[in-house]
Amino acid sequence: MELKSYQRRVIENLEEYLGYVQEHKSLAKAFNQYWEDKIGPYNPLDGTGMETYKNNIPNAAHVCVKVPTAGGKTFIAVNALHTIFSAYDSAKPKAVIWLVPWSNLLQQTVNTLSNPEHPYRQKLNSLFNNRVEIYQKADLLQGSNFNPTVVKDQLSIFVMSFASLRANNKEDRKVFQENGQLESFVSQYKSDEHILSGVDDTALINVLRYLNPVLVVDESHNAESDLSVDMLKNLNPSFILDLTATPKANSNIVSLVPAIELKKEHMVKLPVIVYNNHDKTEVINNALHLQRKLEILAIKQEAEGGRYIRPIVLFQAQPKTKNDNTTFEKLKEQLLGLGIPESHIKIKTANIDELKGIDLMSKNCEVRYIITINALKEGWDCPFAYILASLADKSSSVDVEQILGRVLRQPYVQRHKDFQLNLSYVLTASAKFNETLQSIVKGLQESGFSEKDYRKVDKMTEEEKKTVAVNPIESFLFPEQQSEQEDIIDKNRVTFDPSRYPSGADETSDNQWKETTSVIEEIEAIAEEQNRKLEEQIKEQEKQPVDENIFQEMGAKVKRYKVKESNKDYIAKIEFPQFFIKVTASDIFGTDEELLNRDSLLKDFKLSDEDIKIDFDKISSDLYKIDLEEAKKNEYRPSFTKIEDNLVKDPIAEYILAKPKENQITDITHQMMQIIGNMYPIPDQEIKVYIGRILKSMNTEQLRDILVRKWSYTDKIKAKIRQLTDSYAEGRFNDLLKSKKIKTKVNWKLGNEIVPGNIGSSIGNSLYEREGSMNGFEERVAMEIGTASNVAFWHRNLERGKGFYINGFKANHYPDFILQTKSHKTILIETKGDHLDGSDSEAKCRLGNEWERQAGQDFSYFMVFDKKEIKGAYTLDKAKELISQM
């Protein structure tokens, strides 16, 4: 299982932030500069920029990732652990406390991380060399395979609930009590600074504090109370990663995923179609018909080679009250009275759990209707849930926000043939429909989505809404007179026939199941239109800068600069070509061409077959490495360990070198894999084999040197791998170009606004009100070429997903400038100081010049050096001369 593109960006954002920490040697400075470079400095007066770093837990880096419901937070965290521990000294224990707010989510997390067949555990094994152990609290208290030796040599994940670690929780005081099973850890303590006052050295809490763990806080918005914050402080963490769809005001967000990214990857069923019926009878009748229609489509799709789906309705019943309105018990009785088999109906409430032990995804499961109140509010996910049918009193606004997220997850994370199976549905009968919509918006927001992600239809007339108004005094004095006729479902108005359940593809011919309701037809029509609009929005968005949807999500925090009025006509007419590759359609949704990315060029690359010639003689003996674990007391900046040849010795180096060579290679490879990080799309196994080949060719002294300077050796190996992949990708690109499998077509436009982050000097003739920051040589280019008499405008092209990039065999190449001449020629300029004339520049130059050849007469590309020249590039003077003639 590989990361989705947006998940990969989250990991890249985390790596980027840790890079800032490396540069600034301060968690706060790193965070503040990270966001300043993206969206500009923080200005409390107008609210622009990201608020400065909040030192919530002293001595710990504390960052947050915002991911909507169904976005794969757990898988992101699994990959993030590798990124985080790559910033540590590899000799430190890799201890993780994975905190969850509820018991059902705890068991779910334990199961997914423990099961060797589950993709999450398989990814952990791949990232941490199969040295992974998952513990629950009981395992830790008993010392079950939990001691200093095993913890030192593996990734240890302790899955625990918030409540079990709170000091005021009397039932869980064992965490704070003396524990002879953990005596072996006490001899490892270097000092008593981590010991909690009044708590025995052997208590589990002190062992956890000694390990200075990384915390993964799932659904972190539930850990904001004073008790929860104290609980986090008690754990003495070195790093805290918050995962939530709804970050709180004091969160240090380093990455956020817009909801549309999940729709693009077919993770969620959006938009939500909200239909307000006349009464409860209609809600039930239409929910039954809609479920059947969806199931018929699902059966037909499976018969044509699709995956098995059995759409489920979540009936949200009225809570039990004095007047015993539509409760879950009455609703089940009424559904049975319609002839629906009991095996199709299950109740899930705080006190009744008929779903226990049932695999709702199994073909053998018959459940189509789940009756609940709010018991499914969080920590429960079944992608077969499609319809939320709320049965609150008509006079109440429908309180659906707690369980709306349960119908959003898309089955099998793929687009389905029939558009109806790609959306979710909410059916209500509320006279207070506007309040109900606010509840739905709130529910979407609590799941990380927005009010743009639903479409509404209100069929209840104003007259019908007025009839449910009740005098509160009469209601109090004469409650027996206030019962509504609709509290009892009118069987005579239910047109659904339970005896005709679809049971196979042979029953789904066009002549079958003609009975339906006009409401279902109306819902389908609305769904089709809204689905079409969303698909169009996604297509348009793909032409925008990569980060624009993130900036839209951040709203007013983002400082924008508009295009100058005089230039609007220019940019409206310029469309930039990019490389597209012809592909063979693999399914009904396939296309004959798609935007080329470097990863696709490396699809058949085999690192294990490449040469291992690397010059290790020029390794720098000095290298600074983040060590977030050794933060000074009462400070939140990390300390940095200077690694030198003769001063730093890995404490287990001699232990490793005492082993047979084969074992040495295994252990050293494992250490280097921890450092090397993600090199997507090259599989980790390929990198592991490649490193093994390098190590086999070395003698004992060379292996000893690697153990002393493994960071530097790893950097050399990474550089070699990049060189090999670049060479392969360029060869593949040229082959596909020659065989006419690659072409250019227009795919990108300049926006009316930009988000430069830090702004540069004001130089005349710029496209926007202000342009992005520039170095000295770039400012010279802007002044000497951008202000020439034949140039209509110049623009400092933005990087990191904001501006235009040339795609191809190099990782996206963002030229420094975009110019437009008055004769309507569009020119891209990449500037290079004379010291930057290595192979990377040469490859970019070749790519840019090929783009110019393929883009046509109206486009040009220049790589510009001050004085030096490389093949295909120009000096500044020569570029000025040529551009002045265009």
Q: Please identify which residue in the block is written with the tokens 């200077």.
A: 642
Q: Do domains 262-482+499-540 and 749-883 have the same CATH topology?
A: no
**Quick one: pLDDT at residue 647?**
40
Cβ–Cβ < 8 Å for 199, 176: yes
Highest mean pLDDT among 20-24, 274-278, 566-570, 762-766: 762-766
Q: What confidence tier does 294 reach under pLDDT thresholds 50, 70, 90?
A: very high
Cβ–Cβ < 8 Å for 789, 764: no
Highest mean pLDDT among 466-470, 536-540, 702-706: 702-706
Q: What are the pLDDT digits (tens) for 337-362? A: 889 999 999 998 878 888 888 899 99
Of 267, 241, 245, residue with least CA distance to 256: 245
Residue 511 pLDDT greater than 80, yes or no: no
Structure tokens at 812: 């996206």
Q: CB atoms < 10 A from the CB of 120, how many?
A: 20
**CA 666 to each of CA 156, 480, 651, 670, 689: distance values in angstroms, whole numbers, following the listed order:** 20, 78, 17, 6, 10
What residues contact 532, with CB distance under 8 A and at least 6 apart? Answer: none
Angle of helix 280-303 relative to helix 518-541, nearest 10 degrees? Answer: 60
Choose the weakest-confidence range: 69-83, 298-312, 553-567.
Answer: 553-567
Show me where the domains of the chain are located.
5-257, 262-482+499-540, 607-629+642-736, 749-883
**Quick one: pLDDT at residue 126?**
86
- Give CA angle at 548 (545, 553), nearest 5°: 165
**Quick one: pLDDT at residue 700?**
83
Residue 729 pLDDT greater than 70, yes or no: yes
Q: What confidence tier does 656 reach under pLDDT thresholds 50, 70, 90?
A: confident
Q: Please identify which residue in the block is written with the tokens 């380093």.
A: 254
**Quick one: pLDDT at residue 398?**
58
Residue 623 pLDDT greater than 50, yes or no: no
**Quick one: pLDDT at residue 710?**
78
Region 153-166 average pLDDT: 87
**Quick one: pLDDT at residue 515?**
47
Q: What are the pLDDT digits (tens) for 84-102? A: 988 876 668 899 999 998 8
3-state secondary structure 624-639: EEEEHHHCCCCCCCCE
If one compares 556 and 31, the residue with the highest pLDDT of the two is: 31
Region 308-325 average pLDDT: 74
What residues contact 586, with CB distance under 8 A and at least 6 apart? Answer: none
Amino acid at 296: I
Cβ–Cβ < 8 Å for 672, 716: no
Looking at 57-128, which runs of residues are DSSP E strands? 61-66, 94-100
Region 177-200 average pLDDT: 89
Eight-class DSSP state of 411: G
Under CATH, what is the fold of the domain 5-257? Rossmann fold (3.40.50)
Residue 582 three-state SS: strand
What is the CATH class of 262-482+499-540? alpha beta
Region 838-852 average pLDDT: 88
Q: What confidence tier does 169 reach under pLDDT thresholds 50, 70, 90?
A: low
SS3 content of the chain, % helix, strand, coil (to 5): 40, 15, 40
Residue 587 pLDDT greater than 70, yes or no: no
Backbone φ and ψ of 391, nearest 5°: -120, 40
**Quick one: pLDDT at residue 432?**
73
Region 751-776 average pLDDT: 92
**Quick one: pLDDT at residue 394?**
62
Residue 658 pLDDT greater than 90, yes or no: no
Cβ–Cβ < 8 Å for 67, 245: yes
Residue 563 pLDDT greater than 80, yes or no: yes
**Quick one: pLDDT at residue 484?**
43
pTM exceeds 0.85? no
**Quick one: pLDDT at residue 396?**
56
Burial of residue 461 (CB within 10 Å: 0-12, 13-18, 19+) is exposed
Residue 662 three-state SS: helix
Q: What are the pLDDT digits (tens) for 833-842? A: 766 555 688 8
What residues contact 785, with CB distance under 8 A and at least 6 apart? Answer: 791, 794, 817, 819, 829, 876, 879, 880, 883
Q: What confidence tier does 326 reach under pLDDT thresholds 50, 70, 90?
A: low
Region 845-862 average pLDDT: 95
Of 66, 73, 100, 405, residue with least CA distance to 245: 66
Burial of residue 589 (CB within 10 Å: 0-12, 13-18, 19+) is exposed
Among residues of the chain, what percentage have pLDDT more than 70? 84
**Quick one: pLDDT at residue 883?**
95
Backbone φ and ψ of 830, nearest 5°: -110, 120
Eight-class DSSP state of 535: H
**Quick one: pLDDT at residue 792?**
94
**Quick one: pLDDT at residue 652?**
62
**Quick one: pLDDT at residue 670?**
81
If one compares 444 and 181, the residue with the highest pLDDT of the two is: 181
Cβ–Cβ < 8 Å for 830, 810: no
Query: What DSSP element (H or E) covers 11?
Result: helix 5-24
**Quick one: pLDDT at residue 838?**
59
Pairing of strands 874-875, 859-865: parallel
Region 837-848 average pLDDT: 83
* CATH 1.10.10 applies to domain 749-883: no
* Distance from C-alpha of 638 to C-alpha of 53, rounded to nearest angstrom: 14
Of 816, 821, 818, 871, residue with least CA distance to 849: 871
The DSSP string of 710-769 is HHHHHHHHHHHHHHHHHHHHHHHHHHHHHTT-EEEEEEE---SEE--SSB----TTBSBS
Amino acid at 336: L
* Distance from C-alpha of 322 to C-alpha of 617, rounded to nearest angstrom: 83
Q: What are the pLDDT digits (tens) for 404-415? A: 778 888 998 888
Structure tokens at 84: 């985080």
Query: What DSSP element (H or E) covers 312?
Result: strand 312-316
Region 772-800 average pLDDT: 93
Region 1-25 average pLDDT: 88
**Quick one: pLDDT at residue 428?**
86
The DSSP string of 782-819 is HHHTTTSTTEEEEEE--TTTTS--B-SSSS-B--SEEE
Region 286-309 average pLDDT: 92
Cβ–Cβ < 8 Å for 57, 221: no
* Distance from C-alpha of 879 to C-alpha of 873, rounded to nearest angstrom: 9
Residue 731 pLDDT greater than 90, yes or no: yes
* Distance from C-alpha of 125 to C-alpha of 573, rounded to nearest angstrom: 52
Residue 561 three-state SS: strand
Q: CB atoms < 10 A from the CB of 294, how many?
A: 24
Q: What confidence tier does 163 reach under pLDDT thresholds 50, 70, 90?
A: confident
* Distance from C-alpha of 638 to C-alpha of 808, rounded to nearest angstrom: 38
* Distance from C-alpha of 403 to C-alpha of 389, rounded to nearest angstrom: 11
Q: CB atoms < 10 A from the CB of 21, how many?
A: 22
**Quick one: pLDDT at residue 308?**
95
Residue 246 pLDDT greater than 60, yes or no: yes
Q: What are the pLDDT digits (tens) for 48-70? A: 899 999 988 888 899 999 998 88
The DSSP string of 487-522 is GS--GGG----GGG---SGGG-STTS-----HHHHH
* Distance from C-alpha of 296 to C-alpha of 521, rounded to nearest angstrom: 15
* Distance from C-alpha of 876 to C-alpha of 863, rounded to nearest angstrom: 9
Choose the weakest-confidence range: 362-371, 532-541, 723-732.
Answer: 532-541
**Quick one: pLDDT at residue 589?**
47
Q: What confidence tier does 377 reach under pLDDT thresholds 50, 70, 90?
A: low
Cβ–Cβ < 8 Å for 11, 76: yes
Q: What confidence tier does 857 reach under pLDDT thresholds 50, 70, 90?
A: very high
Per the prediction, the chain carries an average pLDDT of 82
What residues contact 132, with CB distance under 8 A and at least 6 apart? Answer: 121, 124, 125, 154, 155, 157
**Quick one: pLDDT at residue 785?**
95
Q: Please identify which residue in the block is written with the tokens 């925090």.
A: 557
Residue 506 pLDDT greater than 50, yes or no: no
